[in-house]
Homo-oligomer: A and B are copies of this chain.
Amino acid sequence: MSEKITIYDIAKKLNITAATVSRALNNNPKIKESTRELVLETAASMNYKQNKLALALKSGRSNNIGVIVPRIDSNFFASVIRGIEEELYPHGYQVIICQTHENPKRESENLYTLIDAQVDGILMSVSGVNNENDSAFRNVLEKNVPLIFFDRSKHIEGVSSVTINDFKGGYIATKQLINQGCKNIAHLSGDQSLEIFKNRFLGYKQALIDNGIEFNEKYVIQSKSSVEAGKEAIDILLELETPPDAIFSSSDFAALGAIQELKERNINIPDDFCVAGFSNEPFTKFMEMSITSVDQSPLEMGRMSARVFLEQVDKTDTIKIEKKVVLAPELHIRKSSTRTTS
C-alpha cells in the first residue's frame, strides 16, 4: 500500500525545495555535496522512485521505441526483436511490439498509434508496398521520429535501413544448385513488389545467366510462405514439359512443402532433385533431410538496427543521416542440395 513518494515529499522532510531535490538527484554540479548526500539518503530511505511519466511529459521523450513486424511468431522476426531488445536494454529503452499480420491498414494504424504514444523511434519491417499508407509514413517523418527499416525496406529519402544482400543470397543459393549439376532450376518467389523477394529473384536469375543457363519464366512460381504453397508449386512444376530438377525457394516453409511433395512422389532428393530455401529457420537444420538455406543473421540485424537508431537519436534534426547497412547472407549447405554422386 506504499503511497507514491514524490520529490516534494522528500523536499518537505528536509525543509528544502523540490528544485533542490531534483538537482541533487540529477547530479547537478552546483549543489552542495552535503545536501546531495542527504537527499540521496532520504530518497533511498523513503523508497523514492522517479516518475517516468512526468519526466516523459516534461521532456517529450518516452524512452520507448516501437517495433512493427508482420508477426512475432516466426523465428526470424522473433530473433530480430531479441537483438533489438538486447541492444537497447542497456540504454534504458523499452521495446513496444506491434504486429501487422501483413495488413497495410494495420500497419498504418500501428504507425499512428506509436507516434501517438510518443515513442522515441520506430524500427520496422514493412508488410507490403502500397501507397495507401504513405500518409502514415509522412506523419512519422514530420514528427522527426527516427525511422529505421530492417529486412523489408521501403525507399524513403532520409530513412535508414538494415537489410541483407538478398540478391547475393539468391545468387549463392542458386549457384550452389548449379554446382550440384542441376540444369533446370525453378524458383518459388514471394510477393515481388517487396524488394527482398524481387532481389532474391534477381540474384537467382543472374546466377543462371552467369552460368550459361537459360532463364525460363515458367520456372518462377509466385507463392506464399507456407508448406501448402510449396506442395502446390511442385504440382504445377512437374506438369511442365521439362520439369525442373531443383528449386530455390524464397521461403523455407515452401521449400519444406516442396520436399514433402517430392517425397510423396518418390522423387529422390538430392540426387534427382535439389532444394534450397531461405531464412535458415530452425527446422531446416533439424530435419533428417536437412534443408540448405540462406541465413539472414536476424540477431545481428536486430542489434544493428538498434545501433543505427541510437546513432540517429539525439542528433540535431538538421542533419539527416541516411544509413544503409547491408549484411552478408550466409549459405548453409545441407543434405537437400548435397549430391552424393558427383
Contact = CB atoms under 8 A, between A and B. Distances in A.
A97 B95 contact: yes
A64 interface: yes
A262 interface: no
Interface residues of A, number: 48
A94 B113 contact: yes
A342 interface: no
Nearest to A66: B94
Contacts of A72: 72, 78, 81-82, 85
A256 interface: yes
A175 B307 CA distance: 51
Interface stretch (A45-53, A184-192, A231-239, A324-332): A45-53
B142 A2 contact: yes
Nearest to A109: B89
Contacts of A62: 53
Interface stretch (A27-35, A195-203, A283-291): A283-291
Given A75-B75, A97-B85, A116 B56 contact: no
B287 A52 contact: no
Nearest to A83: B73
A118 B1 contact: no
Contact of A287 (B97, B118, B287): B287
A56 to B, nearest CB: 5
A75 B85 CA distance: 17
Contacts of A64: 64, 96, 117
B81 A97 contact: yes
A228 interface: no
Nearest to A112: B49
A91 to B, nearest CB: 12
Contacts of A98: 85, 94
A251 to B, nearest CB: 13
A282 interface: yes
23 contacts: A2-B142, A49-B115, A49-B116, A51-B57, A52-B116, A52-B118, A53-B53, A53-B56, A53-B57, A64-B64, A64-B96, A72-B78, A72-B82, A73-B79, A75-B75, A85-B99, A95-B96, A256-B286, A263-B288, A282-B283, A283-B286, A283-B287, A287-B288
Interface of A: 1-2, 49-54, 56-57, 60, 62-64, 71-75, 78-79, 81-82, 85-86, 94-99, 113, 115-118, 142-144, 227, 256, 263, 282-283, 286-289
Top 9 closest A-B pairs, CB basis? A283-B283, A73-B78, A78-B78, A53-B57, A73-B79, A53-B56, A73-B82, A57-B57, A2-B142
Given A1-B142, A227-B286, A287-B287, 9 more contacts: A2-B143, A49-B115, A53-B56, A53-B118, A54-B57, A81-B97, A86-B99, A94-B117, A286-B286
